[in-house]
Amino acid sequence: MPLPELPPQGGPPGPWKVPSMVSRTLPSGLQIVVARLPWLPVVHIRWALRGGRLLEAPGKTGSAGLLGSVARHGTARYDSAGLASALDYLGASLRISVGLDSASAGISGLSEHTDVLLDLVDEALLRPTFPEAHFIRERDNALQVHRHQRAQPSVIAGGWLARSLYGNHPYGHPAVVSEELAGLTAGDLRALHSRILAPQRGLVLVVGDVDAEATADALSERYADFPVGAPLPKPPPATLSRRLIAIERAAAEQVVILLGLPLFSWGAPDHLPMEIVNQALGGGAGSRLFNELRERDGLTYSAWTALDLGIHGGDFSAGLSCSPDKAPAAIAALMDALKRPLTADEISGARRYIIGAFPQRASGVGGVAALLYTAWLYGRPVSAWADYLPDIASLSDDTIRSVAARLIRPEQASIVAVGPAAAAAGVLSGLGDVEERAQDDRGFEASV
């Protein structure tokens, strides 16, 4: 099917228009940012704190994810049903999450309810009680989810690849270890919560139809007495090692192949060129991997690449699944596709997609809040987003190819293959020394 007729590309895109904002930094170190978006009578409020799974205690793997699910089931003021009823009454939505680098709680609703929404998100993030009955139910549910996930080839491959790329760094640790999750108590969640709750590592962000100055003043008074918490500990350095790992999954009908290369932290000098490289190679249905491995060669239903960058490092990965008989051809085609320089058309298509998609990312109170939160988390000025589209547009093709040639070196990548034993090992046999593992050995559980 031919591409639609598009109007000629105009001049370079203009900068993203940073909304009118007011910022405060309190004596505790807590940052307050209020951005006025008067287009709709809605507001998004986000509490964020640097330090998430990085702060899990040894032997307590899984406590961070469990904290996020249990926190909304009881606070100093509300029980689980009471908080749910209060949210429903306002037509508001509340989400609490604890990731590797941060913990956050976000709430959205009508701007006329801003003060009440602040009360609710404060309760959920700052004053959870972790009631025993809800803790046990959520822990049992998390164990069931984990048992299901650890049987998924893609999860198996992802866990082993993370361990290969990051070693003993927290980025290489599993999100859950069954025995540790099963042994958690509500007291473990309270202890983790107290370590995460450090205002000098925090941000209160309000985006929507509000008076920015008055709201910032009210928030400054609201949180004026917060104590200074403990500094964020520095994680150990990543211990990198190239590994080729074949995981036996005898009953599998497909072989899952996952390749990874270590990169850099979010916002590093090569970040923007690598966004274009990633999009061109495997970021969507118009990418090289999709067009060649799926559409042209029929080797796989889906082939993709991903860029995963955090505060302490990042990686580039590529993956596919295929029938065992096609696995040798698929890995050869994958390696070849990653090695070849990008064409001018591939770069142009990737650049056009990123420029066209960004305004959708930046629309609405939630989209603007996500951009402001990301800039804060990675210590970047908001102006970095204002310059994002012009910077993407101004990158030369030669610069993009040079970055790809320097960083995308598939012969140096760690690769994991999961599937029937002979097929998984055979895929990797010509690439170096292969570690053959069983799905259920201790190394698997420690990596997933």
> What tens digit of pLDDT does each residue of 83-111 get?
999 999 999 999 999 999 999 999 999 99
Summarize pLDDT for 200-220 with one digit per residue, the tens.
Answer: 889 999 999 999 999 999 999
Summarize pLDDT for 163-208 with one digit per residue, the tens.
Answer: 999 988 889 988 899 999 999 999 999 999 999 988 888 999 999 9
How far, in Å, CA of 397 to CA of 308, rounded? Answer: 23
- Work out whether the CA dihedral 108, 113, 115, 119 comes out positive or negative: negative
What are the two backbone dihedrals, phi and then psi, of residue 434, each rounded to the nearest 5 degrees?
A: -105, 130
**What structural domains and CATH numbers belong to the chain?**
20-222 (3.30.830.10), 244-447 (3.30.830.10)
Q: What is the mean pLDDT of the chain?
A: 91
pLDDT higher than 70, residue 26? yes
Q: Quick one: average pLDDT of 259-284? A: 97
Show the tokens assigned to 147: 């048992």
Show the tokens assigned to 24: 């405060």
pLDDT higher than 70, residue 442? no
pLDDT higher than 50, residue 1? no
What are the two backbone dihedrals, phi and then psi, of residue 126, each rounded to the nearest 5 degrees?
A: -95, -30
Summarize pLDDT for 52-82 with one digit per residue, the tens.
Answer: 898 999 999 999 999 999 999 999 999 999 9
Given a contact cutoff of 8 angstroms between Cβ atoms, the answer to whether 396 and 404 are in contact is: no
Contacts 24+ apart (CB under 8 A), 375-382: 376/31, 376/33, 376/48, 376/203, 376/205, 377/48, 377/50, 377/101, 377/102, 377/311, 378/265, 378/266, 378/267, 378/311, 379/267, 380/267, 382/18, 382/21
Q: What integer pLDDT is reported at residue 15 of this predicted model?
A: 78
Give the pLDDT band of residue 6 (cuts 50, 70, 90): low
Summarize pLDDT for 220-240 with one digit per residue, the tens.
Answer: 999 998 877 777 888 887 777
9/420: higher pLDDT: 420
How far, in Å, CA of 424 to CA of 419, rounded? Answer: 5
Of 316, 339, 313, 312, residue with least CA distance to 260:
316
3 state DSSP class of 291 = helix
Summarize pLDDT for 285-310 with one digit per residue, the tens.
Answer: 999 999 999 999 999 999 999 999 99
Q: Which residues contact 122 (CB under 8 A, 6 or more apart)?
A: 47
Q: What integer pLDDT is reported at residue 17 of this predicted model?
A: 83
3 state DSSP class of 133 = helix
Q: What integer pLDDT is reported at residue 234 of this predicted model?
A: 82
Show the tokens assigned to 275: 């966004």
Q: Quick one: average pLDDT of 316-340? A: 96
